[in-house]
Amino acid sequence: MLKDFLLPPGIIILATILGLACYWRKIHALRILVCCSLLSLYFLSMPFVARLLTRSLQWYPVVNLGASAQADAIIVLSAGRYRNALVYRGDTVDGLSLERLRFAARLHHANTLPVLTSGGRATEDSNAPTMAALMAESLRHDFGVLTVWQEPESNNTRENARLSARSLAERSIFRAYVVTHAWHLPRAILAFRHTGLLVIPAPASYAPALPPSVKYLLPNSGALRESYYACHEWLGLLWYTLNDEVAQYAFDG
């Protein structure tokens, strides 16, 4: 997909290959490109930089589980799945989805609100269970959440928002918590903007600042993955913003 070459490490690898392919021409600018690509890979693999990127997306505060409920339902947005997990005899939710489900369950037990799981198949296999079904199964079996509704058609965050809002509106519910990772919430809340649903951000994770330490300047694969998610969200926010501006311009015209 195109976005795989717009995000690290794809864009860095592509730039490096381009620079090396033209290196024999002794073009000074391309040599600089190679150096910048390698430096980018190093910085994005540093835990310190990765954490700064993640925290730059933590716009919304943590929900106080002890306070009275401000909504009438909980929406959990899907992340990904583990395919053909032997211990579960089939597909199941991945680690990111599980983190979201855990907090949704905690929020449910604190306020006894119904939970709506949102997510389609996002795969060409028509026999694969939907993410909504996998998450509902986990909520019931792993967390003891019995009141679970499903929205099984969405395959991206915008569809999550539109179809979840429609599903709740059919049940006369117009206020809901939206549970996802803190770094995903800015884009998710933006997607809910025009749905008519009043949403309350409920971050399922909140990355703390790293204490000063030399070890956080050393690159590792976990930090690169964290940087990938942050860059993905900033790119998504840019895309949503540009699309909204284009739509508004067309409407005004």
> Does 19 fall in a domain?
no
pLDDT score for 42: 84
> Does 218 fall in a domain?
no
Task: List pLDDT tens digits, range 136-185.
Answer: 999 999 999 999 999 999 999 999 999 999 999 999 999 999 999 999 99
Q: Amino acid identity, residue 244?
A: D
Query: pLDDT band at 251, cuts 50/70/90?
Result: very low
> Does 193 fall in a domain?
yes
Query: pLDDT band at 1, cuts 50/70/90?
Result: low
Number of domains forming the structure of the chain: 1
**Average pLDDT of the segment spanning 53-64:** 96
Residues whose CB is less than 8 angstroms from the CB of residue 247 and which lie 6 or more positions away in sequence, other chains included: none
> Does 32 fall in a domain?
no
> Does 6 fall in a domain?
no
Q: Amino acid identity, residue 194?
A: H
Beta carbons of 177 and 74 less than 8 angstroms apart: yes
Two structure tokens written together for 134: 């996998």
User: CA 188, CA 80: separation in Å to the nearest integer?
Assistant: 16
pLDDT score for 170: 97
Cα–Cα–Cα angle for 90, 96, 101, rounded to 5 degrees: 80
Q: Provide the CATH number for the domain around residue 171.
A: 3.40.50.620
**Average pLDDT of the segment spanning 81-92:** 91
135: pLDDT strictly greater than 70: yes
Indicate the helix (H) or strand (E) that contains 252. helix 221-252
Please give the residue that has the higher pLDDT: either 71 or 251. Answer: 71
Please give the residue that has the higher pLDDT: either 2 or 95. Answer: 95
7: pLDDT strictly greater than 90: no
> Does 47 fall in a domain?
no
Two structure tokens written together for 60: 């919304």
Mean pLDDT of the chain: 87
User: pLDDT over 70 for what percent of the chain?
Assistant: 83
DSSP one-letter code for 233? H
Please state which of the ranges 26-35, 50-59, 182-191 shows the lowest mean pLDDT: 26-35
Task: List pLDDT tens digits, range 59-83.
Answer: 999 999 988 889 999 999 999 999 9
Task: List pLDDT tens digits, range 221-246.
Answer: 899 999 999 999 999 999 988 887 54
User: pLDDT over 90 for what percent of the chain?
Assistant: 68
- Name the packing angle between helices 10-21 and 28-44 (round to 10°): 160
Full domain range(s) for residue 118: 74-203
Q: Which of these, 47, 58, 62, 131, lies nearest to 97 by C-alpha position?
A: 131
- Name the packing angle between helices 95-111 and 131-143 (round to 10°): 60
**Average pLDDT of the segment spanning 11-34:** 63
> Does 130 fall in a domain?
yes
pLDDT score for 221: 86
> Does 232 fall in a domain?
no
Please give the residue that has the higher pLDDT: either 8 or 198. Answer: 198
**Average pLDDT of the segment spanning 81-104:** 94
> Measured between alpha carbons, how far is residue 154 from residues 78, 131, 134, 151, 194 in Å?
10, 9, 14, 7, 16
Peptide bond into 9 cis (omega under 30): yes
Q: Give the burial string for 173-197 (b: 16+ CB within 10 Å, else e).
A: bbebbbbbbbbbbbbbbbbbeebeb
pLDDT score for 253: 37
Please give the residue that has the higher pLDDT: either 40 or 16. Answer: 40
Q: 245: exposed, middle or buried (C-beta count within 10 Å: 0-12, 13-18, 19+)?
A: exposed
